[in-house]
Amino acid sequence: MTTIRHHLSDDLLLEYAAGSLSEGWSLAVACHLAMCPTCRGELALAEATAGVMLEELAPVDGPAESWDALKARILAAPEDKASPVVRPGNATLPEPLRSYLGGDVASLKWRNLGNAKQILIKTGDETTQARLLCIAAGKPVPEHSHGGRELTVVLTGSFHDELDSFGPGDIEDADGSVTHQPIAGTDADCICLAITDAPLKFSSRLVRMVQPILGI
C-alpha cells in the first residue's frame, strides 16, 4: 500500500468542514479525502468539534414563520427522478471526480499539450479552474510559478519537482513563492487533479505565447 506523505493543511480541513470552501478547492479536498484515511479521521474530529461548539451556543430566536416557510420549500421541491449513477468497483479515479467527468479514465477524451494532456473540468465555481492532467512517464512539464494558489492531487503515478516527490493520494499546495518543473515518475504516466485560482506563470516565452490557446 502506498504511503501518503503530503496531507491537507489545517485551514483547508477546517474550511471544508465548515462548508466555506469554493467548489474548485472542495473538489481537490474531496478527492484527497477519498484516498487518505488519515485526513478523513482529521475531518471527522473537526466536524465533531464543530458540533460540540454549536451545541454550546445559546439559541437565538428567529422569525416565528421561519419553520413554516422552510417546510413549504421542502414540500414544494420537485422530486429528483434522475437514475443513480453506477460506478465500477475497480475505478481509477475517485468520487466525486468521476461524476464531474462523466466516467473513468478509459472513457475520457484528452487534449494534447506536448508531454502532457489535459481535460478542463466544468464547475459552477467562477473563482477557480479545475483540470485533469496526464503527464507522460519520465517527462517534464514547462517550468512555471503561480499567479495564485494551486492544489494538485496525485491520482495515479507520481511526480517530483525541486521541492519534493508526490505519489498517489498526495496533495501539493503551491503559491506564488514556488517556481518548479514537475517531472512524472518513469514507471507510469502521472494523472493528477489541479485546481488554480489564477493563470500559471511560465518561464518560457514560447509557452506564454500559446498559453491562452491551451487554456493553461
In a domain, 5, yes or no: yes
Is the pLDDT reported for residue 196 higher than 60?
Answer: yes
Lowest mean pLDDT among 81-95, 129-143, 156-170: 81-95
Q: Note whether residue 171 is domain-resident.
A: yes
Q: What is the pLDDT of residue 182?
A: 96
**Cell representation of residue 7:** 496531507
Task: Give the residues across from 160 on adjacent strands.
Answer: 165, 183
Please report where in the chains the cell 416557510 appears, as a residue. 69
Identify the CATH number of the domain in which residue 43 sits.
Answer: 2.60.120.10
As a whole number of angstroms, the distance between CA 156 and CA 166 comes to: 10
Q: What pLDDT digit, counting tens, does each position of 16-27 carry? A: 998 999 999 999
**CA torsion through residues 52, 54, 57, 59, sign:** negative
**Residue whose C-alpha cell reads 500500500 in the numeric block:** 1
Full residue range of the structural domain in which residue 173 is found: 1-59+95-216
pLDDT at 167 over 90: yes
Residue 123 counted as domain residue: yes
Separation between Cα atoms, residue 103 and residue 93, nearest integer Å: 9
Does residue 87 form part of some domain?
no
Determine the Cα–Cα distance for residues 47 and 124; give it in Å rounded to an integer: 25
Beta-bridge mates of residue 185:
none
Looking at residue 209, what is its pLDDT?
A: 87
User: What percent of the chain has a predicted confidence (pLDDT) above 70?
Assistant: 81
Q: What is the pLDDT of residue 171?
A: 97
* 39 is a domain residue: yes
Q: Is 71's pLDDT higher than 70?
A: no
Provide the domain count of the chain: 1
Residues 164 and 157: their CA atoms lie apart, in Å, by: 15
75 domain residue, yes or no? no
Average pLDDT, the chain: 86
Distance CA 29, CA 9 (A): 10
Give this prediction's pTM. 0.81
In a domain, 79, yes or no: no
Query: What pLDDT score was predicted for residue 129?
Result: 95
Question: Which residue is it, cell 498559453?
Answer: 211
In contact, 142 and 202? CB cutoff 8 Å: yes
